[in-house]
Amino acid sequence: MVRGQEHTSEVRDTDIVVGVDGSPSSKAALRWAIAYAGRTGVRVQALISWEVPAYYGMGTVFPYEDLATAAGKILSASIQDALGNGEPDVPVLESVVAGHPAQELIDMSAHAALLVVGSRGHGAFTGTLLGSVSQNCVLHAHCPVVVVRGKG
């Protein structure tokens, strides 16, 4: 696996970009993307993004490094979970970026062949069929989008 910080320069026109947030749905999307990439001979660009909460508390300092590190750990663990104990047949690059998840994925989609997202992540409305990030990606992505439903 390769870690990347500047995602737009690393994304190739043949890459599959997949959004990961550690949720069961995003892990299913990651497994789907890896399997598809293995059949088509392309690489996977796995992205997790983070934002500073709009209101965290009066006088509280929330360092960026802690958010980036936590996000990176979630991404790495999700990739290891998706791969099992084996090595990937395809390259899986990791991108940890600051920004809104939907916007970061949409931006990356301008340079990708395919965008893969889970149907819903860790959002507040867990009963919905389609989360806000996946809905925004379907509406605004610059490439085809696959929405993977469920945990399997």
Give CA–CA dist 68/72, Å, rounded: 6
Residue 51 has pLDDT above 60, yes or no: yes
Residues facing 118 on adjacent strands: 148
**pLDDT band (50, 70, 90) for residue 149:** confident
pLDDT of residue 10: 74
Between 59 and 28, name the one with better pLDDT. Answer: 28
The confidence band for 66, taking pLDDT boundaries of 50, 70 and 90, is confident
Q: Output the pLDDT for position 58.
A: 58
pLDDT tens column, 11-48: 888 999 999 999 999 999 999 999 999 999 999 999 99
CA–CA separation, 149 and 33 (whole Å): 13
- Domains belonging to the chain, first-starting first, are 2-148 (3.40.50.620)
Select from 2, 25, 28 the least CA-distant residue to 15: 2
Predicted structure pTM score:
0.82
- Are the CB atoms for 121 and 25 separated by under 8 Å? yes
pLDDT-derived band at 6 (thresholds 50, 70, 90) equals: very low
Paired residues of 145 in beta bridges: 115
E runs forming strands in the chain: 2-4, 16-19, 44-50, 92-98, 114-118, 145-148
Tokens representing 14? 């043949």
Query: What does the block give as tokens for 82?
Result: 């998706």
Predicted pLDDT at 4: 41
pLDDT in tens, 72-119: 999 999 999 998 877 668 899 999 999 999 999 999 999 999 999 998
Q: Which two tokens stand for residue 52?
A: 């500073």
At 132 the pLDDT is 86
